[in-house]
Amino acid sequence: MKSCFHCGEDCLEEIINYDGKSFCCSGCRTVYEILNSNDLSYYYDLEKAPGISPKINEGKYDYLENTEIIEKLLEFDHDGTQITSFTIPSIHCSSCIWILENLNKLHKGIKSSQVDFPKKKIRLSFSSEELNLKNLVLLLVRIGYEPNISLDNYEKKDSNIDRSLIYKLGVAGFAFGNIMFLSFPEYFEINEFWLEKFKHLFRWLMFTFSLPVVFYSGKDYFFSAYKGLRAGILNIDVPIALGITVLFLRSTAEIVLDLGTGFFDSLSGLVFFLLLGKFFQQKTYSFLSFERDYKSYFPIAVTRIHTVNGETIEEQVQVYKIQKGDRIIIRNEELIPMDAILIKGKAKIDYSFVTGEAEPVSKSSGEKVFAGGRQQGGIIELEALKPVQQSYLTELWSDEVFKKDKNSAFQNLTNQISRRFTYAVLSIAVLSAIFWIFYDPSKAWNVFTAVLIIACPCAIALAAPFTLGNVLRIFGKNKLYLKDANVIEQIAQIDTVVFDKTGTITENDRCRIEYEGIKLTEVEKQLLGGSLRASNHPLSRSLYEILDKNNISTPEHFMEHTGMGLETSYKDLNLKIGSKTFTSNTGSSFTEVQVMDKKARTAVHISSNNQYKGCFSFHNSYRDGLSELFQELDGDKELIILSGDNDGERSRLSKIVPEETRMLFDQKPGNKLQFIKDLQKSGAKVMMVGDGLNDAGALAQSDVGIVISEDVNVFSPACDGILDAKRFRELGNFFDLSGKAISVIKFSFLLSLFYNIIGLGFAVSGNLMPVVAAILMPLSSISIVVFTTLATQILSKKLKK
């Protein structure tokens, strides 16, 4: 047994042997020929078996001849030079980058190409006189790098990257360093002539450096505090804004009145560390999209047909231009973009991405088909019932759940304590001032402002950003990518976990297959293997994987009946492989009723020389560790399985999951959304774990929506997090670390309280000196940062194992 030289899949040398190398299909061999003839064979030296077997669907990219669509896809078009960008999910290694950045050697019309590996994108500059957009895309497809072109590309908007936080952090850091340097002489009260002579200059320089810190770097805290007060909320930014204001005013007064150096060092340090915490928490995964909707999945164009003078004309039009009554053509493996009526052809629609139902649905002329289904057969003709925007699937995105901001309804731990903290600080400041008014009026104002300065909740405000920011990175390293750090706090509160079935707790690329029927002879097995080897149908490929590949007969005759099955022969043996109607023979002694329960199974049927033999039944293969994960979560969470599939696996599932697990089947997308709403009305904190567009509403409505993905770079619906399917078993550990992260934050609050008590002792007694504030405030911030970082690293060891 040898592996394909191009893509690494198993292949047979006697089927395709070229140039002394083995190839699994003609596509891989063609790619090798293209690269080798253009002196690009170094591609194979960079990484073993880096390629992907290309599949070219003739006519799929005809819409790239439409001028309107071309204009939308081009970034630049002038004087014979055109520039465009594509997302290519199959980019995965150094050899991919190398070949894509050397495309000019494959076609002289390509001027340059640049790959953005983290975003899986390529930017191409080419000559429109020598190469058009369609041929450029076909070139990429031929070498195994098919671009992802969807309706989302047609409506793409310029993405503005907000770098304001970096600028503010830079300004605060620059000012903090310089003010500390200028403050050193006065810390130690050095009575040196030149320092004494220029101390006023140094103080005014510190004042100057503080201005951009307060009015630029720290302005967001004032805006946030104002909005909170206007809404009647005492958020954590209120005491911070108050502390910054008092620090600046008192320090300015001390310089103007020549009373001292002020607290400009503490002021700039406070703002710097606060912004550093924000920056640390602001981790983004630029190569992922957490806000995708149907536009990322639907085609950009469709084939419309109309009759002119008795002649049928086909044209590629932008999908939004299709109106009610228009006739369209859908080919094999193409997606239906709007609700429609089947006019001609045999439709076999795969709705798995919409409903979760794994079994394709057959439709006859006159029946209704829904948007989001994928045709698995020959060409069909449809009449549109509604425009794309009004279809059943796209109307799901008009639900208010997709417009709400989850964070606006969520009050994080820091803001929960801010009200009490603010009241406590103001009470201590007022009571201390009243005491000193009667005891020593000259100290009353100093004590009042000193309390507000030293009690500014810098350390409290840093605890959550640094803890959650570090946990966010740890999750990312372990293949759970969250939209933002606030999701971690929400995960810690979850008490109900709802799982989709198909593609979430089951594996898409692996299933259990059983044969039931009359035993196949060795010759029949050999021809079956050879026939399946030549088919691209998913069921054929799955069945081929379990067969003996060492004894395969290459078919002499091979014919694929689209939507029905395969007919193949070798010498005097004829096999039919496919649907039950295609292979059945009433004269057989073994009937299909004995082997096929339609609600429970998907099957490939076999007949030999017109005698029905039996079928290979496909059963769901559940993810490794599913039972252990459910047992682990069952202790403190309610578990629910919510599936769009039928209940054929109910009995098998009940043996895998805990007895108390609720299971609901045949759930449409709207049903799932409403089910989550009902759970939340009952007071539950819900996490939805799904994988497809049918889960989109439930994912958006839930407190936390997590998508399970076999490939995190390809399409996933709107969600709060994307979990690599290989780490599905670790979901319980992610819950555990989220809970421990909240404990770290709470302990950090106690540590911060300890510093505040020490500082308040100096402030209330009237002995707060600038040097004390300069030591305590940075020390408390640094110690919180070190503690939270070390604590989360230690707690994450279990997850890393």
Write out pLDDT tens, residues 776-801: 677 777 888 888 888 888 888 776 55
Output the domain CATH number for residue 694. 3.40.50.1000
User: Domain for residue 425, yes or no?
Assistant: yes
Number of structural domains in the chain: 5
Residue 159 confidence (pLDDT): 53
Residue 595 confidence (pLDDT): 38
Q: Rounded to the nearest 5°, which phi and psi values hold at 284?
A: -125, 150
- Torsion, Cα 336 337 342 345, to 10 degrees, reads -40
Lowest-pLDDT range of 63-72, 161-170, 390-399, 538-547? 390-399
E strands, 669-772, are 686-690, 704-709, 721-724
Please answer whether residues 707 and 690 qualify as being in contact, where contact means their C-beta atoms are separated by less than 8 angstroms: yes
Q: Which two tokens stand for residue 182?
A: 């200028």
Q: How far is CA 96 from CA 35, 90, 117, in A?
A: 13, 8, 9
User: Domain for residue 640, yes or no?
Assistant: yes
**Nearest by Cα to 643 from 625, 680, 669:** 669
C-alpha 736/C-alpha 741 separation (Å) is: 9
Domain end residue (candidates: 598, 621, 644): 621
Domain end residue (candidates: 594, 621, 648): 621
pLDDT at residue 190 is higher than 80: no
Q: Rounded to the nearest 5°, which phi and psi values hold at 383?
A: -115, 120
User: Domain for residue 657, yes or no?
Assistant: yes
User: Domain for residue 609, yes or no?
Assistant: yes
Write out pLDDT tens, residues 43-85: 666 566 666 656 666 577 888 888 888 888 888 888 888 999 8
Residue 410 confidence (pLDDT): 47
pLDDT at residue 367 is higher than 70: yes
Contacts of 785 (CB under 8 A, 6+ apart): 273, 277, 462, 466
State the sign of the Cα–Cα–Cα–Cα dihedral 52, 58, 64, 65. positive
Domain end residue (candidates: 621, 641, 670): 621
Q: Does residue 605 share a domain with residue 514?
A: yes
Q: What percent of the chain has pLDDT over 70?
A: 76
Residue 386 confidence class, pLDDT cut points 50, 70, 90: confident
Range of the domain at 548: 507-621
Q: How far is CA 757 from CA 238, 750, 780, in A?
A: 20, 10, 12
The radius of gyration of the chain's CA atoms, rounded to the nearest angstrom, is 33
Please answer whether residues 581 and 488 qualify as being in contact, where contact means their C-beta atoms are separated by less than 8 angstroms: no
Q: Which two tokens stand for residue 641?
A: 């399985």
C-alpha 405/C-alpha 419 separation (Å) is: 23
pLDDT at residue 171 is higher than 90: yes
450-472 mean pLDDT: 77
Output the domain CATH number for residue 550. 3.40.1110.10
pLDDT at residue 393 is higher than 80: no
User: Domain for residue 363, yes or no?
Assistant: no
State the sign of the Cα–Cα–Cα–Cα dihedral 434, 437, 440, 445. positive
User: Domain for residue 365, yes or no?
Assistant: no
Q: Does residue 631 share a domain with residue 489?
A: yes
Q: Does residue 502 share a domain with residue 629?
A: yes
Q: Does residue 79 share a domain with residue 173?
A: no
Q: Does residue 632 share a domain with residue 488?
A: yes
Residue 295 confidence (pLDDT): 63
Higher pLDDT, 360 or 295: 360
C-alpha 322/C-alpha 153 separation (Å) is: 18
Please answer whether residues 598 and 648 qualify as being in contact, where contact means their C-beta atoms are separated by less than 8 angstroms: no
Q: Which two tokens stand for residue 431?
A: 């009571």
When the pLDDT of each residue in the chain is averaged and rounded to a whole number, the result is 78
9-29 mean pLDDT: 64
Residue 549 confidence class, pLDDT cut points 50, 70, 90: low
Residue 600 confidence (pLDDT): 45
pLDDT at residue 166 is higher than 80: yes
Other CB atoms closer than 10 Å to residue 585's CB: what's the count? 16
25-36 mean pLDDT: 70
149-166 mean pLDDT: 66
Output the domain CATH number for residue 140. 3.30.70.100
714-718 mean pLDDT: 59
173-192 mean pLDDT: 77
C-alpha 305/C-alpha 651 separation (Å) is: 48
421-432 mean pLDDT: 77
Q: Does residue 662 share a domain with residue 520?
A: no
Higher pLDDT, 627 or 350: 627
Residue 529 confidence (pLDDT): 82
**Nearest by Cα to 623 from 656, 583, 589:** 656
In the numeric block, the tokens 């003010």 are attached to: 179
DSSP SS3 for 167: helix
Residue 587 confidence (pLDDT): 41
pLDDT at residue 141 is higher than 60: yes
Residue 216 confidence (pLDDT): 94
Write out pLDDT tens, residues 254-307: 888 877 777 788 888 888 888 887 787 666 555 455 555 566 667 778 888 877
Contacts of 425 (CB under 8 A, 6+ apart): 239, 451, 452, 455
DSSP SS3 for 749: helix
Higher pLDDT, 729 or 563: 729
84-97 mean pLDDT: 79
Residue 774 confidence (pLDDT): 61
**Nearest by Cα to 488 from 231, 799, 223:** 799
Q: Does residue 148 share a domain with residue 41?
A: no
Residue 80 confidence (pLDDT): 85
Write out pLDDT tens, residues 562-612: 667 788 888 888 888 887 878 875 444 333 333 334 444 567 889 988 888
Q: Does residue 692 share a domain with residue 644?
A: yes
Residue 191 confidence class, pLDDT cut points 50, 70, 90: low
C-alpha 25/C-alpha 642 separation (Å) is: 40
The amino acid occupying position 451 is: V
User: Domain for residue 140, yes or no?
Assistant: yes
Q: Does residue 605 share a domain with residue 547?
A: yes
Higher pLDDT, 482 or 94: 482
Lowest-pLDDT range of 216-220, 336-340, 542-546? 542-546
Find the helix or strand (DSSP H, E) in which 574 lies: strand 573-578
Q: Does residue 178 share a domain with residue 38?
A: no
Q: Does residue 501 share a domain with residue 461?
A: no
Residue 586 confidence (pLDDT): 40
Range list of H helices, 90-129: 94-100
Higher pLDDT, 792 or 377: 792
DSSP SS3 for 154: helix
User: Domain for residue 290, yes or no?
Assistant: no
The amino acid occupying position 339 is: D
Q: How far is CA 617 from CA 348, 397, 597, in A?
A: 19, 37, 10
C-alpha 680/C-alpha 494 separation (Å) is: 11
Q: What percent of the chain has pLDDT over 90?
A: 7
Q: Does residue 615 share a domain with residue 522?
A: yes
DSSP SS3 for 240: helix
422-427 mean pLDDT: 75
Q: Annotate 258-325 with DSSP letters as a single string.
A: TS---SHHHHHHHHHHHHHHHHHH----TT--SS--GGGTS-SEEEEEEEETTEEEEEEEEGGG--TT
